[in-house]
Structure 1
Amino acid sequence: MHLPALNLPDLFIPLWRGSFDCDPSDSTDLGSWPWAVLKNLSVWKQHGLLVAQATPYIPGSFDRPPRNPAEKISSGYKAWEFLLYFFGLGPALFYGLLPDEYWMHYCKCVQGFRILMQEEILPSEVADAHALLTQFSDDFELKYVQRRADRLHMVRPSIHTTSHFAPETVRVGPGIIYSQWGMERTIGNLGEEIKQHSNAFANLAQRGIRRCQVNALKAMIPDIEPPENLLPHGATDLGGGYALLRVMNTASRDVRLCEHRAIVAYLEDNDCSLEMEREFEGPGKSSDFTECKVDGSSYIAEVLFYMLLHINDDIPPKAVAMVSLYGPPHPGILAASSNTYWTAQHLRDSAIRVIDVNTIKSVVMMAPDERYKTRFHDSTEVDRWYLMEKPGLKLTERAGLEELLSEE
């Protein structure tokens, strides 16, 4: 938790701002420190504004969005905010701002930790992360320290520790299962349960014992506590961790021509006669950005609305979503960024599809990409968006209905 969320941002952001302690024999001007791109106050404020402008596009299930670092980074900036800022938004927002070699160096760090923050990691992924983080650690001395004795203080333990993170993952497991997130939450919960303030520590110990006893009983007898019904009134349980919440338009409306064509194509693909009786219940909640499967391939899409599709009385209504797909990511940028900067055009009405709700894999963030246009002026910069996934996305796939409810 502390290494990626606090130690590394605490090293790199002062370096990029030119506020890092500098030896008298060194200089923080761009000629000597080409990475100090945020030293100019107006550039730093503009960068912070881009971070703040991404907030409306960050799903509620991502927890606390990062605040404007130019205004709040020294005012109780949370570890989770640093994580979303540095490892989520950063590859896109630092593109074209940091010199290319320093940006690519930073992206190796981001991708390495993105892999290792998963709950389930394949051996090949661990090997990839180890290669990225080892190269990141070695290149830091070449690119920043440059074998200068007066910059030796830049090489903090956090730089060397990154090269050991992947082997330690093999030895003790993914970091997300033993990080301090869970420990600090437990400490907070137990602290809330203290009722005997005259002997607080004894009371805390007893609450901890009681918690362990309850957990042991639940582990031995899983059915001892009936599962809670997490769905609010009026929601439709679709099974498999999916549900439609009771959020609907207050008035019916005609579908647009592109939406009509998508519905007809969906019915034809599912061997439904166009003469069958068809009704649409909905549309429901809209404007989610999701990763979904279409024709066996993964796409990023904006959900325009959800609906229950009634084909006839003999077939149960099908929960489907009307989505608008994004185009493919820029291959050159994706490769240069070690697969961390995913930027694509929104295809809007030219790529409308109807998909089954259970093909939606996760909720992601898509925000307008203002950095792409600083390098490209070939008409592909129009209506361009960049992707951010929640750290530890494989873990969040298990959130199921809780993720839906957090959006409500």
Structure 2
Amino acid sequence: MQYQDDATNVLLEKLRMNGGVIDAYEDFFDGMDYLDAVQWGKIKEGDPILMLSIDCTQLYKSKQSNCWIYIWVVFDHHPQERYKKNSRIRRIRPVHVHSTSLTETSVSPVAIPLRVELCLSSNRFLAAALVVHTPGMVYLNGLVGSHRGNGCQLYCGMRGCHKPSAGGHYYPALLKPNNYNHLGSDHLDIDVEHLPPASSGNYLDNLKYLMQSHTQTQYEQCRLETGISKPTIFLSIQTNNILGVPGCFGLDIMHIATINIANELIPIWCGSFQFESTDDKDTWYWAVFKSCVWQDHGKAVVDTTPYLPGSFDHPPCNPTQKINSGYKAWEFLLCLFGLGPAILYGVLPNVYWKNFCKLVCGI
């Protein structure tokens, strides 16, 4: 508890000295959501601050994953200590996946022991609930997922753009496509410097609207409009014991950087992504990974092996040989964001290489 209390007092003093401006975000306790909870009295001196981290695992080769392993991370410990084994509380619970239909049971059993554990002590405060991958998060937060009409997992309200040939898939496009007119998702261009703020202000009103559905058809329409598929059981936790819904649920930053982006960039550079029949491939100046160039790129990745420090475990495999058969997230991370700017220099056209380097800098 002492670290949390000391960190809070130091930050509040900095805010007073800097006119309410935070000069550097170094820990959870630097966030305004936490500071507001302290100033409103939701978090009192000595209250333990917890983060839930959870993921599913497949116990049997030919069966669906049916076991969730989760830990409570105690934020009261110093960042150098809080993630060590003796500073965490571990749990294993078998659960089953449920449909998102309003007429069926819509609460994952994994949340029940979580809520019980949290409420065993009235002064425990849930700061964040994290699932390692986005598909698993929908079972905790009750939202529709990132590829739906209102798919922002922070509930910012920005609607995706629907492509008719893509079924029910919506894309989180900031710019309105040319000649695009689809009711409900044809918003004007959104400036990347002025993105809609994340907000849960209208979440409860939208949830109430969803729960008033009398038929499956009404429910599906409300789900499309609101981006909510079911109530999360975390709503049953007392208001003073939780940061807020859906604000307490985090984003899948790891997979976005290591797998999702890689699964987009590499097919673009290879010119192998799905495209429309009207597209002119002769204008794809970014599609540089022709047969020999792609092979040379794989060799360049392998040739970096003698220069990698031992802390990287073992070097990444040749992507031309292994990328479709279990290339790991950390291999994508190292190849793209560690080696990429160097081994893609002179391979990608300069304008695309500079753009890629901005991505690397951002990550």
Question: Higher helix share goes to which structure?
Answer: 1
Q: Relative contact order (C-alpha < 8 Å, sep 6+): which is higher?
A: 1
> Whose Rg is larger?
1
TM-score scaled to structure 1, two decimals? 0.27
Question: Higher strand share goes to which structure?
Answer: 1
